[in-house]
Structure 1
C-alpha cells in the first residue's frame, strides 16, 4: 500500500470525468520518468509496474510512447534478432569454409587416385611389385 500511496504523493491528482463518471488521474513528469526508469533498469513488465504503482497499463504505455522509451521486451527482441543474424552470418561463413574443404578433399582424393593408377601402370610396365618392395624395407 505504501507504493500505491507513493503515486498519490508524487504529483498524482484526480479529476472527475463528466461523461463517464470516472476519476481521471494525472501524474507529474518526475513520477512518470521514475516509473519508466524503473521499467528500463529492472526489466519489469507493464503489468507489474501497473500493479506496483497503481497506474493503468495503458497510461504507462502512453508514457512510453510520449517519452520515446524502448521497452525491455523490445530491447530483448532486438538483441535476439541481432544474435540470430550473427549466428546466421557465422553459419554461412562456416558453410563456405566447409565447401572449400570439400573441394580440397576431393582434389586430394583425385590426386591420390592418379598416383595409385600411375604406380599400377609403372609396376605393370616394368614388372616390379612396388608394394612388396615398400613393405620389405
Structure 2
C-alpha cells in the first residue's frame, strides 16, 4: 500500500480487493452487450413485459448488499409492473454462476436490462434509491400514482 493513503482508504481498498478475489472473474465490462437469455416459467409471463429488469448481484452476508434490500423493495413497489427486480446471492453455490454470467467484479453490483435483455446500465457498490429513480425515469419509467 502507498504510505500516503488514509486508514479509511486502505480499508475500502482492502474490502474491494477481498470482494473481487472471492470471484476470481475477468474484470471486463459487459455494458452494451446483450445479457444471456433467461428462462421464464409460464406463470412468470405477463401480458405487459417489464420495461426494465433490475438485477442485484450480492449476498445476504454483505453489509452494503443488505443495505440494498429495502431499496430494491421500494423500487419494486414504486414502479410496479414496469420493472422486474431480481436478487442473486452470488455466494450461494446454486446462484454463484450469476457472478460469472454478468461478469461482476465486486458486490453489490446492480445491472439494468432493457426489454430486449440488453444491459443499459451497471453500478458497483451501494446505489442510493434517489439515483436509481433518476436512472429509471430517464429510461421512461413512471412512478405509480401516490408513490
- Above 0.5 in TM-score? no
Quick check: which has more Rg, 1 or 2? 1
- Quickly name the TM-score band, shorter chain normalised: under 0.3
Q: Comparing both structures, which one devotes a greater share of its residues to helix? A: 1
TM-score (norm 2): 0.18
TM-score by length of 1: 0.19
**More relative contact order, 1 or 2 (CA 8 Å, 6+ apart):** 2
Higher strand share: 2
